[in-house]
């Protein structure tokens, strides 16, 4: 299979038309004329992921986040912005990103996250329809909801709201969703599960009476990778997809926790 064919499969899974206008998605490194056999799947193209791809004889890296937050004018193996991209090119490995299109897609980041948390009646979250909203099968106290979320994502939460309040309707936005606090409140949800929330966004949530459960950018997005691999594998007979071994959470809770109480 050529990368060109892979691009077509991805277009069905996460159509480019779903991406935000500012986003950069698709084949970002290499040529679509290349034949591929092994694809490494990761949230980010970091240097360890690039080195794993090289060591493991991969032909393509598929990530959620694009390379180059800012457009570049030089490509150095010694600078954070370009170090991993340099390594991939150096070894002839391609790189493909599905970002906000994968957030919004059916079966994408937020669909998986909503499913993992057991939501039912799942619908797109207005106004951008990247996130999802749905309901718990039955109301649970926010404390129990928080524990369930943290447990499902194997991490710890930071929270906004009274832990005794009952939660029924829930919105989810994987990654940095804190800027959507007002949208979620306007959609009438009891709780909001996301990955990153800034201080003043938490103050706004508290003002709006919105319960929030903040679980880490990586932790709320990483869960899409396995279902994505399964789906890709079903559509590709001669290509094998592997989840990266190097893509650990960049900002984890320390093992055993840090609270001495």
Q: Quick one: which segment of 98-106, 118-126, 207-215, 235-243 binds its own copies (CB under 8 A)?
A: 207-215
Interface positions, 65-104, toward its own copies (CB under 8 A): 65-78, 80, 83, 85-86, 89-90, 92
| Opening angle at CA 192, ends 231 and 113, nearest 5 | 10
Of the pair 198, 226, the CB lying nearest its own copies is at 198
The two structure tokens encoding residue 235: 């559509």
29 touches its own copies (CB under 8 A): yes
Q: Which is nearer to its own copies, 92 or 106 (CB)?
A: 92
In what helix (H) or strand (E) does residue 89 lie, and over which residues does it extend? helix 80-90
Is residue 151 near its own copies by the rule CB under 8 A? yes
Instruction: Say if residue 127 is exposed, middle or buried (CB neighbours under 10 Å; 0-12, 13-18, 19+).
Output: exposed
With contacts defined by CB under 8 A, name the span among 28-36, 114-122, 186-194, 233-241 that binds its own copies.
Answer: 28-36
Determine if 197 is a binding residue for its own copies (CB under 8 A). yes
Distance (Å, whole) CA 178 – CA 200: 9
DSSP letter for 67, please: S
Binding mask 35-64 for its own copies (x = CB under 8 A): ---------x-xx-----------------
Least distance (Å) from its own copies to the CB of residue 219?
10
Residue located via tokens 């959609």: 187
Q: Length of the chain, please?
A: 261
Site track for its own copies across 166-185, x = CB under 8 A: ---------xx-----x---
Least CB distance to its own copies at residue 237 (A): 26
Across 213-245, b (16+ Cβ under 10 Å) vs e yields bbbbbbbbbbbbbebbbeebeeebeebebbebe
- Residue 43 to residues 138, 167, 209: CA-CA distances in angstroms? 32, 30, 32
Looking at beta carbons only, is 188 or 254 nearer to its own copies? 254
Q: How far is the CB of 204 from its own copies (least distance, A)?
A: 5
Using the minimum distance from each CB to its own copies, give the nearer residue, 18 or 29.
29
């Amino acid at each position: 299979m050529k990368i060109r064919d892979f691009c077509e499969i991805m277009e069905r899974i996460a159509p480019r038309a779903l991406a935000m206008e500012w986003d950069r998605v698709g084949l970002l490194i290499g040529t679509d004329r290349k034949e591929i056999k092994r694809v490494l799947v990761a949230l980010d193209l970091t240097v360890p992921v690039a080195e794993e791809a090289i060591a493991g004889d991969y032909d393509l890296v598929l990530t959620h986040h694009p390379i180059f937050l800012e457009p570049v004018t030089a490509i150095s193996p010694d600078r954070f912005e370009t170090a991993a991209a340099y390594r991939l090119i150096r070894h002839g490995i391609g790189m493909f990103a599905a970002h906000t299109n994968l957030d919004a897609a059916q079966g994408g980041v937020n669909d998986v996250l909503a499913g993992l948390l057991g939501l039912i009646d799942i619908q797109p979250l207005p106004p951008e329809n990247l996130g999802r909203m749905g309901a718990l099968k039955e109301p649970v106290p926010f404390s129990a909801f928080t524990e369930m979320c943290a447990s499902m994502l194997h991490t710890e939460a930071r929270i906004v709201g009274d832990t005794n309040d009952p939660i029924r309707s829930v919105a989810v936005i994987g990654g940095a969703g804190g800027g959507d606090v007002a949208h979620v409140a306007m959609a009438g949800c009891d709780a909001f599960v996301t990955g990153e929330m800034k201080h003043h966004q938490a103050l706004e949530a508290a003002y709006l009476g919105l319960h929030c459960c903040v679980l880490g950018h990586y932790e709320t997005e990483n869960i899409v990778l396995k279902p994505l691999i399964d789906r890709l594998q079903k559509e590709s007979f001669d290509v094998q997809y592997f989840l990266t071994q190097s893509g650990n959470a960049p900002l984890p809770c320390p093992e055993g926790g840090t609270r001495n109480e």
